[in-house]
Structure 1
């Protein structure tokens, strides 16, 4: 069986490379991919949070090594080997949803000791305008400059404009994170979490801007509830991926009321 699995319904396509950490390497609308396909980091991956629990680089068993792929009903399930660093077995279930796909992550604890993690999805795009809504401003540890307009926050990625990696950390979001680029609007919808349930030294919404103009990309990231996973238990977390074409004449500009309305629709 090929390691490249393609799921399609209507105008939507999602492609997963089972041999590369079951990474999502394509999310397309009418054949137009919203994800980064070249450079040092591509597509969308998953890490357990907090990062300080495993350091760097990401655990290969979860991020880059082969997963077992199984067809189920109208979708696919991808399952990792036991990760020797985090002691987790990760599975990713992908099925069609109304405006794209639902990605369900299951962190299973096969060990005899309790584990503590939060789910964390890291999605790479080439650039464009990233925005979200939240009840509070970004955390003080953030280095990525955003434009705050009321309860909406905006970042336009111009890789030639800086020479260092920048990152945003934010909590109390409205449960979605969007990116407008190359005529497409990508939106990820996720369960909101209270500040008290966020992994240590992390945030509900994170945006990373890569500071190398020769390899430009940004990561739009969100995390779920941090908590204990007892021996033999599984923590489940789902993200809705939506994709649409931007209306003709709609320029993705900071503060665009029309773009914000489209994302909230």
Structure 2
């Protein structure tokens, strides 16, 4: 049974504690910060946290949604989507968070969170064009994770400049020949360790890598837990401009990475909605199993198949 606990903020002088909500199901507990972009603040499995915590940084934490591409808004992300309070409702037993429209964005976002079983979380993002003109954008999920783990995903090709000629070479890494040890050619899989002292993509001086995820999933293994994000595989030609299907960002000064993925770039008419579904799987990876990328990939594929067939 799904247990829901709602914490309502109270006033302390002139400041207000943020409204938070906790959802639990079996071994999974999800913490939501309703007043800070309706974000997923933390996920715990058997009391073990997976995401970069708010105590380490009040804004660069948890998991968020942004419209893609970044070149449309540069920085910071649209406030009404990323930082402003959301309206929380419960419909048919589901938790839903809806952004409050702001002047800097023509989009309104609704997030629906489903705990399907003890290992699977479904996130449904519904972005509605509330402007007066058609709007082109893609979905973008940004998940911040503490350093000290391993990033794994099946890779089609690292995006080269011929695919995205406007990439900023000082920020984006595009040359797979510079990091041959990170690509397992037999398994066609990206596999990279991110230590707590890592300040850029290992073996490079770049902070961000863009890639094509050939099977529609990306995973992070840390302290015996695998967080696997599964999404619709999007061809390179259909991605938002200057973005990759999967992106890895290593923060040079804070102890986190961002494991991100982008959906299809599309034109959405006024009053129309684009829906994007992402499934998260949390798996316990036995210490007795091999740490070889082939073994990890097989474990992920086998277990996702079993869980999804419940």
Aligned to 2:182: 147
Task: Tell me the distance in 1 between the aligned counterparts of 2:158 and 2:69.
Answer: 21
Q: Is the 8 A contact 1:130 1:156 kept in 2?
A: yes
Task: Tell me the distance in 1 between the aligned counterparts of 2:42 and 2:194.
Answer: 21
The Cα of 1:161 is off from its aligned counterpart by 4.1
> Secondary structure of 2:81's partner?
helix
> Secondary structure of 1:160's partner?
coil
Q: Is the 8 A contact 1:166 1:208 kept in 2?
A: yes
Question: How many matched pairs?
Answer: 261
Task: Tell me the distance in 2 between the aligned counterparts of 1:111 and 1:44.
Answer: 26
Q: Runs of 5+ in structure 2 lacking a partner?
A: 1-5, 9-18, 162-168, 303-310
Cα pair distance change 1:143/1:158, threshold 3 Å: farther
Is residue 81 from structure 1 mapped to residue 100 from structure 2 by the alignment? yes
Larger radius of gyration: 2
Q: Deviations over 1:64-109 (max 9, x none)?
A: 1100000122321000011322310011000112422100001101
Aligned 1:99-138 pairs, distance under 5 A: 99-127=119-147, 128-138=149-159
Q: Runs of 5+ in structure 1 lacking a partner?
A: none
The alignment's TM-score, normalised by the length of structure 2, stands at 0.79
Bigger RCO (CA 8 Å, 6+ sep): 1
Q: Is the 8 A contact 1:165 1:208 kept in 2?
A: no
Task: Tell me the distance in 1 between the aligned counterparts of 2:155 and 2:91.
Answer: 36
> Secondary structure of 1:62's partner?
helix
The alignment's TM-score, normalised by the length of structure 1, stands at 0.92
Aligned to 1:5: 21
What is the RMSD computed on CA atoms of the aligned residues? 1.9
Task: Tell me the distance in 2 between the aligned counterparts of 1:207 and 1:243.
Answer: 19
Q: Which moved more, 1:156-165 or 1:90-99?
A: 156-165
Aligned to 1:169: 210
Aligned to 1:230: 269
Aligned to 2:50: 34
Aligned to 1:62: 81
Aligned 1:166-245 pairs, distance under 5 A: 166-212=207-253, 215-245=254-284
The Cα of 1:5 is off from its aligned counterpart by 1.2
Q: Is the 8 A contact 1:165 1:211 kept in 2?
A: no
Cα pair distance change 1:243/1:172, threshold 3 Å: closer
Task: Tell me the distance in 2 between the aligned counterparts of 1:160 and 1:34.
Answer: 18
Q: Deviations over 1:110-161 (max 9, x none)?
A: 1211111000000011021011002223545643857001210012112424
The Cα of 1:168 is off from its aligned counterpart by 1.0
Q: Is the 8 A contact 1:165 1:210 kept in 2?
A: no
Q: Which moved more, 1:157-166 or 1:75-84?
A: 157-166
